A and B are shown apart, each in its own frame.
Chain A
Amino acid sequence: MSLIEITDVRKSYGTNEVLKGINLNVEPGEVVAVIGKSGSGKSTLLRCVNGLETISKGSISVAGAQLMNDEVHLKALRLKVGMIFQQFNLFPHLTVGGNVMLSQMVVKKTPKPNAEAMARKMLERVGLSEKFDAYPDQLSGGQQQRVAIARALAMQPIALLCDEITSALDPELVAEVLAVVRELAAEGMTLVMVTHEMKFARDVCSRVVFMHEGRVHEIGPPGEVFANPKTPELKQFLGMH
């Protein structure tokens, strides 16, 4: 059984169908890059996986937890997949430590000392242990995004969804975030990432999914997809003519 099973997922906004029947299975430990033009549905697909968008048809399950539209099922699903956003979305009224501790204490009812220990461990992992008491607005974008990763990791998910996590960063800050993601991948974390970092996708990912007009247009190992695109749309997207 695959870890993430996306079966015939359709999603419409009114009459505009943005996902037109997506099938995708992700195995444990896989690192999948989702690429495509803006408007191709890649972010929507990712947001559907942890229930930020409701799907119109089809089914999604993560490690046996089925996506359903009630709070109990959603919570069970979201405990298995973490999500990291383009805009970081740290809680500005809490310190870095508070950000990483909050959901552990509120959702998992972890006692405070344990939550703090976990927070320190995860911040250490993303190289920010000295920022425990800082507020998000005192950090650079790259540091904020690393805190967001630590916050997601502290919930001990079995997969992480990354939605263009470097797109809002200044170019010189992209590397530090990608280094953390690369390390996670090396440790065997299952990752599904929407990204524009083609070089990173080529180096780190086990599979690349090219989406076009709401469908999975091409899929395969990065070597094949990047070196040998089969469809004219992917060729155009990669700038090969």
Chain B
Amino acid sequence: MIEFTIWDILRNLLLATRWTIVLSLVSFVGGGMIGLVLLFLRLSRRKWARALAKYYIELFQGTPLLMQLFIAFFGLGLFGIDVPAWLAAGLALILWTAAFLGEIWRGCVEAIAKGQWEASASLGMGRLQQMRHVILPQAMRIAVPPTVGFSVQVIKGTALTSIIGFVELSKAGTVVTNATFQPFTVYGLVALIYFALCWPLSKSSQILERKLNVAHRNH
């Protein structure tokens, strides 16, 4: 039987970690862009736009991410479309992230006092001008901590993609365990790597929250 050193295990896990990071970044950036579209739809004056965004968000927040992954992976296959695991994983995570970020940001925009809308309106600004120059600059400050905080959820969410066969950190853990028969060591290392990715983000979210609150002390 081949002997595996800790370094052998760790090296393979770290190589797979690259894909966890790439998938997280893609989900976060793609989800952020769609989330921004959702935010504008949600705040639109058109009823159909608000309804569309609302139902989208309810659908993606109301079903497990795992089901969304399955549907992206197997569902499209039913129509004869061959979906590779990386595509299904990226697609599902982007759409899922968008739903949450859109809703988080809506909350931040709605936290801005009504008087800011009224004052900018009374100065003759149109809706987009109000958003761009008055509302969003203030909402963004509030949005930073929860957005960074949510990125931790995205990283942990990528673990689910191992089930449809995308080889990222969790899947690599399973593969390495099957070869080494050392589940405790392997999954222990997997957990430590996730922790090393997530903890700095959680911490910076806390620090940002404190810092931005200080800036708001007089409001």
Q: Which residues of A contact B (CB under 8 A)?
A: 50-52, 71, 74-75, 78-79, 82-83, 85, 87, 89-93, 102-103, 106-108, 137, 148, 151-152, 155
Contact = CB atoms under 8 A, between A and B. Distances in A.
B219 A103 contact: no
Interface residues of B, number: 22
A137 B116 contact: no
A138 to B, nearest CB: 8
Interface of B: 113, 115-116, 118-127, 129, 133-134, 137-138, 141, 217-219
The B interface, classified by DSSP as helix, strand, loop or mixed, is helix
B118 A89 contact: yes
Contact of A155 (B113, B118, B124, B219): B124
13 contacts: A74-B121, A82-B123, A85-B115, A85-B119, A89-B113, A89-B118, A89-B119, A91-B134, A91-B138, A103-B125, A107-B125, A107-B129, A137-B217
What are the 10 A-B residue pairs with the smallest beta carbon separation, nearest first?
A137-B218, A89-B119, A103-B123, A89-B115, A83-B122, A107-B124, A78-B124, A93-B137, A75-B124, A106-B129
Nearest to A99: B119
A131 to B, nearest CB: 15
A78 B138 contact: no
B123 A89 contact: no
Nearest to B138: A93
Given A85-B119, A91-B119, A103-B123, 15 more contacts: A50-B122, A52-B121, A75-B126, A78-B123, A82-B123, A89-B116, A91-B120, A102-B133, A102-B134, A103-B120, A106-B125, A106-B129, A137-B217, A148-B119, A152-B122
Nearest to A107: B124
A102 B141 CA distance: 19
A78 to B, nearest CB: 4
Contacts of B138: 91-93
A93 B119 CA distance: 14
Contacts of B141: 93
